[in-house]
Chain A
Amino acid sequence: ISHGHGGSHSSSGGSTLLGYIGIDTIIEQMRKKTMKTGFDFNIMVVGPSGLGKSTLVNTLFKSQVSRKSAGWARDEKIPKTVEIKSVSHVIEEGGVKMKLTIVDTPGFGDQINNDNCWEPISKYINEQFEKFLKEEVNITRKKRIPDTRVHCCLYFIPPTGHCLRQLDVEFMRRLSHSVNIIPVIAKSDTMTIEERQEFKQRVRKELENNGIEFYPQKEFDDDMEDKSDNDKIRETMPFAVVGSDKEHQVNGKRVLGRKTAWGIIEVENPNHCEFAQLRDFLIRSHLQDLKEVTHNIHYETYRAKRLNDNGGLHPISSNDTQESNL
């Protein structure tokens, strides 16, 4: 949203108002509009099988939204190549509708030879950018371009307790410039608190050494307030999470958790794991920012590269069913 100043007043200090005008109601107007149209959010989960990706997504959105719950069998065979499978749901809360798309990548990192297993994923992300670009370049554009671009990629790091694997580094290095990557440590109930701290530090150092900029990227911090907020978040990343869609009774309350023979792991208890932090960060504070960074930065980078490569795009009318001149 950009606020334009009236043409006659060139001072940007702002003049004092002589009475109540009602400019601040624009926020309410925006809210009403958004509630009517709803919005899209596309999240991709990447990691080798068995790290609890589907469970975590279900826990995040408190509903059975993952691919596994939408009808596929639980002990499906590991596919021979990396597949991209996406499932969409419309969820509603407080009058706000969200079309949530989960993109799953079964087969990533599961083979004996995992060379180039990141390529199908990279291709998919670029394809979504391409789709959006084509729509944008049309002469008669749709009123609201459907946004299938990947806004956020949760990368699951296995809790080895030692350091990042080669595969992790390779993937993140190659994709951190086309999509917002949020690394999470999966199944973190494997580690004690000290082990977890050490592991996190080592992972952060390795990410830094390899020049991997995960979201929130330092270079996109708008102002000091943003920077200090984001710095705090960056210090605790990668979030060590535990997912669960089962409820148990703890102290008279029903909580989401995992019941083991030596205790119950509460998913939303900040002393047990960092799931609550991840959820707040992802959904309650930075959801819109993720979309904006994807649109303003990642998409723009893609677009600029495409335009430069082709020496210019020729807009096509929507009646044209032949191949575009792109």
Chain B
Amino acid sequence: MQQKNLDGYVGFASLPNQVYRKSVKRGFEFTLMVVGESGLGKSTLINSLFLTDLYSAEYPGPSHRIKKTVEQSKVLIKEGGVQLLLTIVDTPGFGDAVDNSNCWQPIIDHIDSKFEDYLNSESRVNRRQMPDSRIHCCLYFIAPSGHGLKPLDIEFMKRLHEKVNVIPLIAKADTLTPEECQQFKKQIMREIQEHKIKIYEFPETDDEEENRLVKKIKDKLPLAVVGSNTIIEVNSKRVRGRQYPWGVAEVENSDHCDFTILRDMLIRTHMQDLKDVTNNVHYENYRSRKLAAVTYNGVDNNKAKGQLSTKSPLAQMEEERREHVAKMKKMEMEMEQVFEMKVKEKVQKLKDSEAELQRRHEQMKKNLEAQHKELEEKRRVFEEERANWETQQRLEQQKLEASRTLEKNKKKGKIF
């Protein structure tokens, strides 16, 4: 293809800026996995890397909680107007049992399931929402024995180097003196080459300056890191470090450990490249393997969730529509159920209150009757008394009349 020279200023040099503005608006996602035995300082290192207390007293790290094999934590961090959705996948309990055969299997399954999710969402007709939860980078923590890799380390890295970007780290590097560290690193690199383990490779660029930086990093592989949750005063500066009786090991001092190199590489320079390699190499490997398995047999090999269909887009659309309709129907049914339940409840309530009212009505009637009877009783008593009184009155009257008649008779008698 010919390269033509321009006669004037066209303006497409601003494309990177446009991409940049769009990306900033969209925000970024990054998923990081940490693997290693218990007690190697994984949670502490994550806190130090992102300068936030992802794991703190209120939300302790996986080692302090009930053990699950794979744990995910999400955090949204903002810096300079750029938003990063960071997902940390932790693997507590890795390599802690007496028998650790296949302890890498849950991790492999997890990585594969994320690839599968992405593959499925990529194959849909409606692709507006494509969350990328694939693992972009795996930090593998090596215990600072000073000798070499353990059989478990070798097995794990051999099984995962083709599925994810593996970056081996020497954990708790403040255990080693500088000479021991050098020897240890050489030994590890030798063993990695011997077992043909493909760790993440830093890309070559055309830029001289960058190449020099990359070469410096390559010489220091694997990076020896120290993490810390505490801030200490050293020479009136506040630094992250570990306080020993013999001195302070500073996390961000490049003479003490390679932490700054790791942070710069992981976040400041190579984050996008890690994502690209994951997308272009590891994901493509997975995808081609998966699709080849399907078309080879002609019969669908994967009956599990994530059935990849090779139908035409129209059929696919039809299927999606059916899915959607089914979902809607289900929602409708659910709502109806809920509605019915509520109606029943209300009816029951009303019945209850009706019964209550009835009862009260009965009660009041009874009261009234009782009062009525009482009154009747009183009236009867009253009548009786009146009757008595009248009888008495009559008696008195009769007596009086009798006595008058007697007196009259007496008077009459006297006159005779």
Question: When A50-B143, A166-B96, A261-B178 are in contact, do A192 and B244 touch as well, CB less than 8 Å?
Answer: yes
Instruction: Write out the residue numbers on chain B whose beta carbons fall within 8 Å of the beta carbon of A111.
Output: 151
Does B120 interact with chain A (Cβ within 8 Å)? no
| Interface pair A265/B255, CB less than 8 Å apart | no
Instruction: Write out the residue numbers on chain A whose beta carbons fall within 8 Å of the beta carbon of B38.
Output: 160, 162, 165
Does B172 interact with chain A (Cβ within 8 Å)? yes
Question: When A162-B63, A167-B98 are in contact, do A190 and B175 touch as well, CB less than 8 Å?
Answer: yes
Instruction: Write the B107-145 contact mask toward A (1 if CB under 8 angstroms, else 0).
Output: 000000000000000000000000000000000000111
How far does the alpha carbon of A325 sit from the alpha carbon of B170 in the complex, in Å? 56
How far does the alpha carbon of A49 sit from the alpha carbon of B145 in the complex, in Å? 7
Closest to B100 in A: A112
Does B157 interact with chain A (Cβ within 8 Å)? no
How far does the alpha carbon of A110 sit from the alpha carbon of B98 in the complex, in Å? 10
How far does the alpha carbon of A303 sit from the alpha carbon of B148 in the complex, in Å? 42
| Interface pair A50/B146, CB less than 8 Å apart | yes
Question: When A115-B99, A160-B39 are in contact, do A75 and B147 touch as well, CB less than 8 Å?
Answer: yes
- Residue among B155, B245, B246, B247 facing the most chain A CB atoms (10 A cut-off): B246
How far does the alpha carbon of A48 sit from the alpha carbon of B249 in the complex, in Å? 26
How far does the alpha carbon of A187 sit from the alpha carbon of B174 in the complex, in Å? 11
Shortest Cβ distance from A262 into chain B, in angstroms? 4
How far does the alpha carbon of A170 sit from the alpha carbon of B99 in the complex, in Å? 12
Does B250 interact with chain A (Cβ within 8 Å)? yes
Does A258 interact with chain B (Cβ within 8 Å)? yes
Shortest Cβ distance from B30 into chain A, in angstroms? 28
Question: When A50-B146, A189-B244, A260-B249 are in contact, do A114 and B98 touch as well, CB less than 8 Å?
Answer: yes
Choose from A161, A190, A261 the contact partner of B256 (Cβ within 8 Å): A261
| Interface pair B39/A110, CB less than 8 Å apart | no
Shortest Cβ distance from A48 into chain B, in angstroms? 8
| Interface pair A75/B148, CB less than 8 Å apart | yes
Choose from B152, B242, B255 the contact partner of A261 (Cβ within 8 Å): B255
Instruction: Write out the residue numbers on chain A whose beta carbons fall within 8 Å of the beta carbon of B249.
Output: 260-262
Instruction: Write out the residue numbers on chain A whose beta carbons fall within 8 Å of the beta carbon of B96.
Output: 165-166
- Place the interface of chain A in its size category: 35 or more
Question: When A78-B150, A162-B39, A190-B172 are in contact, do A260 and B178 touch as well, CB less than 8 Å?
Answer: yes
Choose from A166, A263, A272 the contact partner of B97 (Cβ within 8 Å): A166
| Interface pair A260/B151, CB less than 8 Å apart | no
Closest to B39 in A: A160
Instruction: Write out the residue numbers on chain A whose beta carbons fall within 8 Å of the beta carbon of B99.
Output: 112-115
How far does the alpha carbon of A62 sit from the alpha carbon of B41 in the complex, in Å? 33
Instruction: Write out the residue numbers on chain B whose beta carbons fall within 8 Å of the beta carbon of A51.
Output: 145
Residues 101-144 of A contacting B (Cβ, < 8 Å): 110-115
| Interface pair A193/B245, CB less than 8 Å apart | yes
Closest to B152 in A: A112
Instruction: Write out the residue numbers on chain A whose beta carbons fall within 8 Å of the beta carbon of B175.
Output: 187, 189-190
Choose from A50, A190, A260 the contact partner of B147 (Cβ within 8 Å): A50
| Interface pair B143/A259, CB less than 8 Å apart | no
Instruction: Write out the residue numbers on chain A whose beta carbons fall within 8 Å of the beta carbon of B197.
Output: none
Does A264 interact with chain B (Cβ within 8 Å)? yes
Closest to B145 in A: A50
Does B177 interact with chain A (Cβ within 8 Å)? yes
Shortest Cβ distance from A290 into chain B, in angstroms? 29
Instruction: Write out the residue numbers on chain A whose beta carbons fall within 8 Å of the beta carbon of B146.
Output: 50, 52
Does A12 interact with chain B (Cβ within 8 Å)? no
Instruction: Write the A28-49 contact mask toward B (1 if CB under 8 angstroms, else 0).
Output: 0000000000000000000011
Shortest Cβ distance from B323 into chain A, in angstroms? 44
Does B312 interact with chain A (Cβ within 8 Å)? no
Closest to A49 in B: B147
Does A216 interact with chain B (Cβ within 8 Å)? no
Does A319 interact with chain B (Cβ within 8 Å)? no
| Interface pair A262/B152, CB less than 8 Å apart | no
How far does the alpha carbon of A161 sit from the alpha carbon of B37 in the complex, in Å? 12
| Interface pair B245/A260, CB less than 8 Å apart | no
Shortest Cβ distance from A119 into chain B, in angstroms? 13
Closest to A246 in B: B177
Shortest Cβ distance from B65 into chain A, in angstroms? 12
How far does the alpha carbon of A49 sit from the alpha carbon of B174 in the complex, in Å? 18
Does A209 interact with chain B (Cβ within 8 Å)? no
Extra inter-chain contacts (18) besides given A49-B145, A75-B147, A266-B246, CB under 8 Å: A48-B145, A50-B143, A50-B145, A110-B150, A114-B98, A114-B100, A115-B99, A160-B39, A160-B40, A187-B144, A190-B144, A193-B245, A261-B178, A261-B256, A262-B249, A262-B250, A263-B246, A265-B246
**A-B interface, 7 closest residue pairs, ranked by CB to CB distance from nearest:** A50-B145, A160-B39, A263-B247, A263-B246, A262-B247, A50-B147, A113-B99
Q: List 8 A-B contacts (CB under 8 A).
A: A50-B145, A50-B146, A51-B145, A112-B99, A260-B174, A261-B255, A261-B256, A262-B246
